[in-house]
């Protein structure tokens, strides 16, 4: 594994973010947020919290004070125009366009290969385009400490203390404290588990030794590729070839495995004791489903327990709780229902409960099997 360590802790404390480039993989369909999130307009391109900014725009605004214009966005070709419209300041060569979706590892790995070719000592931070972070000051400090550890050769993630036994997140088991003077909170990761079963997640919650993986990785570009090469050497060769000559992108992209960075790198690297974590209190949320989205919205001013996305005057509710997204241009009325999810759009209406909102992705699969790609 490449280490290329060149800085002492004293050096790390000085301008720790100067060699950090933010890589923003802007992909994923957000199927659990259907019918708001669609393949043509996934959640990262939308304002899902009523802030006036899309999730992608909010992500870039959060990163700009840390990295300036050192940002690479990786997205699908069909979303290129929308991304350019939302990020007019992004340089043309800072936008990498995937011919097809291959999950997060090919996207992040391609960016890593591009960065490695430009600067062998480059550090990348991978930041999802569709997450919410409330405490940006704490976020900046956690990223700074992660860069210190990454500069010493580690693969570093940010860990969030779990509040419920989530089965849709990765978990890291926190081990001993690392000895980075300028990064005192960094700990060793003793194991990494991606999306465990519920009984396992319940044990993690009770045990207190596990944190949610926030989906943020900070690492030297070369180190990431070397770690990936342990399990997928051909993939790394292809990515480095693409960085040298992207002319073959169309021919070779489909040959890359569709695999997440968690499974391709984080899990095996944790077993080899190459992963570290910065415990973080950020007000973090991945906006993964409507139950999650509801926690980010204010209650309806006239109806306790009901959250509304959209124009509140389009919702009339009596004795109901849950979340209503009124995006269909008509009035939505609820009466005597608890923990409901109602999502009204011009061409589709979803009615379910918060308990079943994780299963919305199954509806999307059903629609596709029925040939209704126009709705997905």
pLDDT in tens, 337-373: 999 999 999 999 999 999 999 899 999 999 999 999 9
Q: Is the confidence at residue 9, as pLDDT, over 70?
A: no
pLDDT for 14: 38
The DSSP call for residue 336 is S
* Residues 6+ away with beta carbon under 8 Å from 166: 201, 212
DSSP 17-29: TTTEEEEEEE---
Strand ranges (DSSP E) for the chain?
20-26, 71-76, 95-98, 123-126, 132-133, 155-160, 170-177, 187-194, 210-220, 275-280, 284-285, 299-300, 303-310, 315-318, 322-326, 332-335, 340-344, 349-353
Query: Does residue 12 sit in helix, strand or coil?
Result: helix
State the number of CA atoms in the 13 A half-sphere of 104 facing the CB: 20
Residue 160: beta bridge partners? 212, 280
Which of 162-171, 220-229, 244-253, 265-274 shows the lowest mean pLDDT across its residues? 162-171
Cβ atoms 149, 178 nearer than 8 A: yes
pLDDT for 181: 86
Summarize the confidence of residues 12-31 as an average pLDDT.
Answer: 83
Summarize the confidence of residues 41-50 as an average pLDDT.
Answer: 93
pTM of the model: 0.90
Question: What domains can be seen in the chain, in order of their start residue?
Answer: 9-285 (3.90.550.10), 300-375 (no CATH)
Q: Rounded CA gap, 365 and 346, in Å?
A: 20
Q: Is the confidence at residue 13, as pLDDT, over 70?
A: no
Query: Does residue 337 sit in helix, strand or coil?
Result: coil
What's the whole-number average pLDDT of the chain? Answer: 92
Helix spans in 122-195 (H): 136-151
């Amino acid at each position: 594994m490449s280490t290329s360590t060149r800085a002492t802790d004293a050096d790390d404390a000085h301008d720790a973010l100067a060699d950090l480039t933010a890589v923003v993989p802007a992909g994923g369909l957000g199927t659990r947020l259907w019918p708001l999130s669609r393949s043509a307009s996934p959640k990262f391109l939308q304002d899902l919290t009523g802030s006036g900014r899309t999730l992608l725009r909010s992500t870039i605004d959060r990163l700009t004070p840390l990295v300036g214009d050192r940002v690479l966005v990786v997205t699908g070709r069909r979303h290129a125009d929308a991304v350019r419209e939302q990020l007019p300041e992004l340089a043309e060569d800072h936008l990498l366009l995937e011919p097809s979706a291959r999950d997060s590892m090919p996207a992040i790995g391609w960016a890593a290969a591009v960065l490695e070719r430009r600067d062998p000592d480059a550090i990348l931070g991978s930041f999802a385009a569709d997450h919410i972070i409330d405490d940006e000051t704490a976020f900046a400090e956690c990223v700074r400490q992660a860069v210190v550890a990454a500069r010493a050769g580690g693969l570093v993630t940010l860990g969030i203390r779990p509040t419920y036994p989530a089965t849709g997140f990765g978990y890291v088991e926190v081990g001993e404290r690392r000895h980075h003077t300028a990064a005192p909170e960094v700990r060793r990761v003793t194991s990494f588990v991606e999306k465990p079963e519920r009984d396992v997640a319940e044990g993690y919650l009770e045990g207190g030794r596990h944190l949610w993986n926030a989906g943020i990785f900070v690492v030297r570009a070369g180190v990431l590729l070397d770690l990936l090469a342990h399990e997928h050497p051909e993939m790394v060769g292809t990515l480095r070839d693409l960085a040298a000559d992207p002319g073959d992108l169309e021919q070779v992209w489909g040959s890359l495995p569709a695999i997440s960075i968690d499974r391709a790198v984080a899990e095996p690297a944790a077993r080899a004791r190459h992963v570290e974590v910065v415990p973080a209190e950020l007000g973090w949320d991945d906006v993964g489903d409507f139950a999650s989205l509801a926690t980010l919205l204010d209650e309806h001013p006239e109806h306790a327990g009901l959250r509304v996305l959209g124009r509140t005057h389009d919702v009339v509710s009596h004795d109901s709780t849950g979340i209503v997204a009124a995006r269909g241009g008509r009035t939505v009325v609820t009466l005597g229902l608890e923990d409901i999810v109602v999502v009204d759009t011009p061409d589709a209406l979803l009615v379910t409960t918060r308990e079943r909102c994780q299963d919305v992705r199954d509806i999307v699969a059903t629609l596709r099997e029925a040939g209704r790609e126009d709705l997905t």
